[in-house]
Structure 1
Amino acid sequence: MRVSRIIDMKKWLAVMGILGLSVMTLAACGNKGDSKVSGEKQTITVATDSDTAPFTFKKGDDFKGYDIDLVKAVFKDSDKYEVKFVTTPFDSILTGVDSGRYQIAANDFNYNEERAQKYSFSDPISRSNYAIISAEGTKYTSLDDLSGKTTEVLPGTNYAQLLENWNHANADKTPITINYASSSTGLSTRVQHIQEGKIDFILYDAISSEYIVKDQGYKLAVNKLKDDIGMKTDGLEYLLFSKNKQGKELKTFVNKRIKELKKDGTLAKLSKEYFGGDYVSDLK
């Protein structure tokens, strides 16, 4: 009887030993898996047309510009996200956000009601007034000055909307002739068309207008628009997100970082580097 009990005890100890090893092995595997999952970062794809200097452009293979460096600063040292940039035509940026291919749109985006219905806006990241680029010796400072003149504009932009609205509101005046350019027709090409006499003007933001005329050596006039467009969002620039759970989480993260970067002087530093002045310190 005693021998039988000893044998049973040995069997019991052997079984418990095997079970113990199994539990330890499973625990080790579980810890390894958990470590791998916790170490993985979520890739955030940022879409830009790389043709809206000084906000976004490419230098060789490198993405550059105020918007680009700001986004890099936002995600620097993040333990949750890693960021990558892609170049796509302007009119494909927001459709890419719609489809989920891109999580952030960064391309000197301004506010308008139509966009606000579909997309979520970050806190403003810069402020620039509207300006009119035109032939040397001209001085257009009001939309009324553009009556009977010809321009090129990308459809769906704030600039197109402002000109369209002026035409609708001023049916008694000679309309502004608006030629809609394809997304492959960059700003530099449209500015060149002014120099060549193909169009009379371009309505754009003051920062980009002054930058491209100076950078490309064009002999053109740049005058800030004096009209009161009447929107508190006038001239403000934003990053855009989709209106879903991920977009909401990203917006919260990005806005927190924007406040920190404004406070520590990073935004002002980038503004001076790319814009030649401080276009951010008065942002609220």
Structure 2
Amino acid sequence: MRKAFILTLLVLMTAAIAACGNKEDSQASGQKEDSSHWKEIKDKGELVVGTSGTLFPASYYPEGGEQLTGYDVEVMREAAKRLNLDLKFQEYGIDGLLSAMKSGRVDMVINDMEITEDRKNEFTFSTPYKYSYSTMIVRQSDLSGIKTLEDLKGKTHGGGATTVFSKIAEHFGAKTKTYGNVTNDVYLRDVENGRTDFIINDYYLQSLALKAMPEIKVQLHPDLQFHQTESAIVMPKEAGQMKKDVDAVIKEMREDGTLTRISKKFFGGKDASKKPEQDIREIKGLDL
């Protein structure tokens, strides 16, 4: 679906001229590649988007329902509608979503995917549709023995191997127990029964997951709020016109109140489309 792009200079003049020519040719060819692929998508009239389908309340199946929904899913549905494209979701585990993008199996990815410098080296992000920060789920009985982030050393974190949250946990000396494409209750019960000690994840997602499963004896840590985040739609690195068009509809959705309306529906009346006002701890010495 997406073809790899390799540019080879056949004739070298001088180092300066070659470097300049390489940059200009690469930009022109990259624009052509993006324009061609985006045109193919629009001509076909269908956009294929990767998501997990297991991340409540961003991308999930409601109990007893067969229709995928969630904040991210409904944002993507509205965006596709405004782009005049039919939308098809393909589901992958969290650690497989970006690989699906690289291999061309999906055109975009939406799954509460945080914008990071590492990811920006490989992919293009839309303008953010969600702002948040990280929190931590721990056992109700003893907060899993954690008072500060520095207490994570030697403890076990439950999460995906390639997530920002696992990087944070490991930065403070924890080890990560990884999972496949499992639902939230599996993560939560492992904390409850001691197989893991904590889960770092997005504040809004964790708040709603706990509300949906009150029988599991875990809670948000009352004192730890850290790592402010921005989530966006992920596109291939060379996306140019694709990004412009997607950014334009997200801007429309923000200005006409659509993002706020969808957010309040899935986040208990809270508006995740606006930056948080809390004092959030910045994690120093961690390159994300």
Per the normalisation by structure 1, the TM-score is: 0.74
Alignment partners' CA distance in 1, 2:134 and 2:147: 10
Alignment partners' CA distance in 2, 1:224 and 1:93: 32
Task: Identify which of 69, 74, 81 aligns with 2:74.
Answer: 69
* 1:200 aligned partner: 197
Counterparts of residues 90-109 of structure 1 (less than 5 Å): 90-109=94-113
* 2:169 aligned partner: 163
Task: Identify which of 225, 230, 235 aligns with 2:229.
Answer: 235
Q: 1:228 to 1:107 in 2, by over 3 A?
A: closer
Count of paired positions: 230
- For the 8 Å contact 1:137–1:221, the answer to whether it is kept is no
Alignment partners' CA distance in 2, 1:48 and 1:248: 22
Q: 1:158 to 1:183 in 2, by over 3 A?
A: same
User: Residue type of the partner of 1:214?
Assistant: K
- For the 8 Å contact 2:158–2:196, the answer to whether it is kept is yes
Q: Does 1:146 align with 2:184?
A: no
Alignment partners' CA distance in 2, 1:262 and 1:118: 27
Task: Identify which of 132, 136, 141 aligns with 2:140.
Answer: 136
* Equivalent position SS for 1:203: strand
Q: 1:226 to 1:182 in 2, by over 3 A?
A: closer
Displacement of 1:55 in angstroms is 0.6
* Equivalent position SS for 2:119: helix
Once the two structures are superposed, what CA deviation does each residue of 1:168-205 show, in whole Å capped at 9, x if it has no partner? xxxxxxxx2x1331323443211111112222111111
* 1:187 aligned partner: 184
User: Residue type of the partner of 1:275?
Assistant: F
* 2:217 aligned partner: 219
Per the normalisation by structure 2, the TM-score is: 0.73
- For the 8 Å contact 1:271–1:278, the answer to whether it is kept is yes
User: Residue type of the partner of 1:220?
Assistant: V
Counterparts of residues 82-97 of structure 1 (less than 5 Å): 82-97=86-101
Alignment partners' CA distance in 1, 2:131 and 2:94: 21
* 2:83 aligned partner: 78
Q: Over aligned residue pairs, what C-alpha RMSD do you find?
A: 2.2
More helix per residue: 1 or 2? 1
Alignment partners' CA distance in 1, 2:254 and 2:147: 32
Counterparts of residues 118-133 of structure 1 (less than 5 Å): 118-133=122-137
Query: Please, which moves more after superposition, 131-140 or 201-210?
Result: 131-140
Counterparts of residues 9-48 of structure 1 (less than 5 Å): 40-48=43-51
Task: Identify which of 257, 274, 277 aligns with 1:281.
Answer: 274
* Equivalent position SS for 1:159: helix
Alignment partners' CA distance in 2, 1:113 and 1:200: 28
Once the two structures are superposed, what CA deviation does each residue of 1:214-234 show, in whole Å capped at 9, x if it has no partner? 1012231212664654xxxx3
- Structure 1: tracts of 5 or more residues without a match: 1-36, 168-175
Alignment partners' CA distance in 1, 2:129 and 2:265: 15
More strand per residue: 1 or 2? 1
User: Residue type of the partner of 2:71?
Assistant: Y
* 1:256 aligned partner: 248
Alignment partners' CA distance in 2, 1:270 and 1:224: 27
User: Residue type of the partner of 2:248?
Assistant: K
- For the 8 Å contact 1:143–1:227, the answer to whether it is kept is no
* Equivalent position SS for 1:47: strand
Displacement of 1:137 in angstroms is 3.8
Q: 1:50 to 1:224 in 2, by over 3 A?
A: farther
Alignment partners' CA distance in 2, 1:197 and 1:282: 34
* Equivalent position SS for 1:154: coil
Using the aligned pairs only, state the percent identity.
24
- For the 8 Å contact 2:140–2:217, the answer to whether it is kept is yes
